[in-house]
Amino acid sequence: MEDNNILEVHNLKISLPVREKRVMFIRGVDLSLPKGKILALVGESGSGKTLTARSLMSLLPKAARIESGEILLKSKTGDEPGTDLAKLSHARIVNTVNARRIGMVFQDPLTTLNPTMTVGKQLAEGYKVHEHRFAGEAKKRALELLASVGLPEPERCFKQYPHELSGGMRQRVIIAIALSLNPDILICDEPTTSLDVTIQARILELLKKLQAERQLSVLYITHDLGVVAEIADIIYVMYAGRIVEEGSRSDILYHPAHPYTWGLLSSVPDMSFKEERLISIPGTPPDLSSGLRGDPFAPRNAWALPEDFEEEPPMFRLSSTHAVRSRLYDGAHTPPPLPENLARRIGNRSSAAEKEERHD
Amino acid sequence: MTETPLLTVSNLKQYYGTGKKRVRAVEDVSFTICPEETFALVGESGSGKTTVGRTIIRILPPKGGKILFGGKDISGKLSGEERKELSRKLQMIFQDPMSSLNPSEKAGDIIARGLDIHRLYSSRTERREKVLSIMKEVGLPEEAFDRYPSQFSGGQRQRIAIARALIMNPELLIADEPVSALDVSVRAQIINLLKELQRKRHIAMLFIAHDLALVRQISDRVGVMHEGKLIETGTAEKIFGHPSQPYTKKLLDSVPVLYPEDTGSSGTGEV
Ligand SMILES: Nc1ncnc2c1ncn2[C@@H]1O[C@H](COP(=O)(O)OP(=O)(O)OP(=O)(O)O)[C@@H](O)[C@H]1O
Ligand SMILES: Nc1ncnc2c1ncn2[C@@H]1O[C@H](COP(=O)(O)OP(=O)(O)OP(=O)(O)O)[C@@H](O)[C@H]1O
Ligand SMILES: [Mg+2]
Ligand SMILES: [Mg+2]
C-alpha cells in the first residue's frame, strides 16, 4: 500500500443477478484515496459509483457478489498492512475493525433514516453506543452538529421524525449522523443534491474545514461538476463499471483527455444565457447484461478507433497524476484537439486558474 | 401576459401539524402558469416548494387560498370523479424517487399505472407498446420493463418516475427535482426531451429545482421562495440578470461554477 493512501481499491469486480444471469456491473475498479484529500467520483448515471462506494462498507445488495479485488484500509498506525474490507461483513467492519473510521452519507435519505425514531434519538444513539456518553452530553453534541450542517432550528429538528422534514433537511441530518463519530474517511453519495446552493456551500465549507483541521479524507460522489470544481483535489471519471480517466482537479477540468469526459464537461449548462438545446452525449449507455465486446463507450464515441470495438483499451499514463483509458494516447496515435465548444469554455481561463492552482 | 392562465394559485396557505407543533409551510403564495409555460420554483431548502406542489395536486387540501386549474376551482372538496379527472391532467414527478415507487411492482407496471386507472388502451399489446415507447423516450432499455425499483441506479429510478408522469400526457406537469439524480449529460437529454414534449404536447410545467443553471435553461418565469413565502417572481432573464431581493442575489452568488470566469457561449447541439 502506498504510504500516503488511507484507502486503496484494487481490481474490484462486483456482479449482480439480472434475470437469472450474473452481470458484472463493476468491472475492475482501481482507486486510491490519499489521506487528507477529497476525491470526487463522477460519471454516468448507472455506471457503478454507488455500488463501488457501498462495497467499501460491505453494504452491497444481498444478491451482489464481489468477484475479485481488494479494498485496503490502512491501519491507524500505518505500519501494519491494510485490512482487506472486501473480505469482511458489514457488522465486522462497523463493530471491530473500524468502529468509527468510515462514515457514510447515502444517496437515498429516506431509506437510510429510521422512520420510527426521532432525529435526535438516531443521532444520540450513535454517541451512546460508540462513546459511552451520558444522554445529556450526547444531546448537546447532537444539537451542535445539527447546527453545524446548517439546520436552522436544531431543537425542533431534534424532536421530529424523518417524514416531517423537507428533502434537504433529511439530507443534512444524514450528514450530521455520518460526521457524529468523527470518522477518518467520509464517503458521500450525492450528499447535497437536494439542498439549496447556499446550504450546499455551507456543507462544502464544513468538509473543507474538517479536511484542513483533522485531515479528513473524503470520497465524494456527485453529478454536480461545479461542486467538483469547488472541492475536489482528485477526480475519477467512471463509465460502465470502470474508471476511464483519473487525475488532479486541473488535469481533469483543464486538460481532459477521454472523449467521455469531454462530453460530460460539455453537458454542464451555462447560467448566463439560455440555450436552444443543451449539449449531451449522443446515444445511450450500454446494457451490461447483454454482454460486452470492446470498449463500452466506443459506440457513442466519435473518436473511437477500429480496435476499440474489439477490445477495451488499458489505462495510459499521461503524467504522474493523470491517466486515461483511451488508445488515442497510446503513443501511436495523435490525440485530437478538444472539441471546440469545450476548448472555448476552458479557453483563456485555464492559464489564470492553473496559476492559482500551482500556488497552493 | 394576455393569455388565460392554466393554473392560478392565489394566497395559498399550507400548514402541517396542529397546536404547538404547527409548522407554517406555505404562506400566501400566489402565481400563475399559462399553457405551455414553464414556471420554476427555486429557493431555500425547507421553504415549502414541495408543499406547494403537493397541495396543487391535492395530496394535501389547502388550508387557505384558491387554486384555479383550467378555469375550475379545485381548492374545495372534490368528488371521486373530479379527482380522477384531475389525476389525468395533472401529474407530479416526486423528489424522492425511491420512496415514490412501489418496490414490489415491476418498472413497466409502475409506468402503466395511470393507463390502467383510466383504461387508456384496448389490449395488453397496446399497453406494453405505450410503455416501451415512453421508456425509450426517457432512455430506459427494454429489459428494464420487468425489473423492480431496487434493481436500478438512482438515476434510472428517476427516469421511471418521469416516464410514469409523461405517459399520461398531462396538461400540467409538476416536476420536483426531476433530474437532480442524473448525470449532466442525461440531465441535458431529459431537459431537451421535456422541452420538446412540451412544445409537441403543449404541456405547462411547474419546475422545482436547486440547479439554477438548469432552471435558467428551462424556465420562462421564476419564483423564489424563502421561509414559506414567494419573495420574488419574474421572467428568467429578470431573476438571473437583475435579481431584486438580497436572498435571490445570495442564491445566485452561491452557485458553484465549473469554470469560474465562464461568461458563456458554449454552442449548441451534441458533441
Ligand atoms: N440490486 C440490484 N440488482 C440488479 N442490478 C443492480 C442493483 N443495484 C444496482 N444495479 C445496477 O448496477 C449498476 C450500477 O448501479 P449504481 O447504483 O452503482 O450506479 P450509480 O453510478 O451510482 O448511478 P447513479 O448516478 O444513477 O446513482 C446499474 O446499472 C444498476 O442498474
Ligand atoms: N409531513 C410533514 N409534517 C410536518 N412538517 C412537514 C412535513 N412535510 C414538510 N414539513 C415542513 O414543512 C416545511 C416545508 O417543507 P417542503 O418539503 O415543502 O420544503 P422544500 O422547499 O420542498 O424543501 P427542499 O428543497 O429541502 O426539498 C419544512 O419546514 C418541513 O419541515
Ligand atoms: Mg448512485
Ligand atoms: Mg422539496
User: Is residue B164 within 6 Å of ligand 2 at its C-beta?
Assistant: no
Query: Strand runs (DSSP E) across A200-248, as ranges?
Result: 217-221, 234-239, 242-248
In total, the C-beta contacts within 8 angstroms joining chain A to chain B are 223
Give me the phi and psi of A289, to 5 degrees please: -75, -15
Query: Is B269 near chain A, with CB under 8 Å?
Result: yes
What's chain B's average pLDDT?
A: 89
- CB–CB contact A278 B250 (8 Å): no
| Complex confidence, ipTM | 0.82
- Residue B78 to residue B129: CA distance in whole angstroms: 33
Verify whether ligand 1 is closer than 6 Å to residue A18 (CB atom): yes
Nearest CA in chain A to B23: A164
In short, whether A6's Cβ falls inside 6 Å of ligand 1 is no
Give the residue extent of every domain in chain B: 7-263
Interface of B with A in 54-93 (CB under 8 A): none
Strands B204-208 and B172-176: parallel
Mean pLDDT on B58-63: 93
Residue of A nearest to B97 (CA): A108
Which ligand is the nearest neighbour of the Cα of A289?
1
pLDDT digits (tens, 9 = 90+) for B190-242: 888 888 888 888 899 999 999 999 999 999 999 999 999 999 999 999 999 99
- pLDDT tens-digit map of A134-158: 667 778 888 988 998 888 889 999 9
Instruction: Report whether A310 contacts A282 (CB < 8 A).
Output: no
Residue range A14-32: average pLDDT?
A: 93
Residue of the CA atom closest to atom 22 of ligand 1: A50
Contact by Cβ (8 Å): B216, B236 = yes
Partners of A305 in beta bridges: none
Instruction: Tell me how close the Cα of B261 comes to any Cα of chain A, in angstroms.
Output: 7
**What domains can you pick out in chain A, each with its CATH number?**
1-101+183-360 (3.40.50.300)
Tell me which architecture the domain covering B7-263 has in CATH: 3-Layer(aba) Sandwich (3.40)
Going by pLDDT thresholds of 50, 70 and 90, the confidence category of residue A342 is very high
Each residue of B2-11: pLDDT tens digit?
578 999 999 9
Is the pLDDT higher at A214 or at A232?
A232
Task: Sort out which chain A residues have CB atoms less than 8 A from B216's CB and list them.
Answer: 269-274
Alpha-helical (H) ranges within chain B are 49-56, 80-89, 97-100, 107-118, 124-137, 154-166, 184-201, 212-218, 236-241, 246-253
Q: Considering CB atoms only, which of B50, B255, B259 is closest to A197?
A: B255
Q: How far apart are CA A92 and CA B218, in angstroms?
A: 48
pLDDT tier, B159 (very low <50, low <70, confident <90, very high otherwise): confident
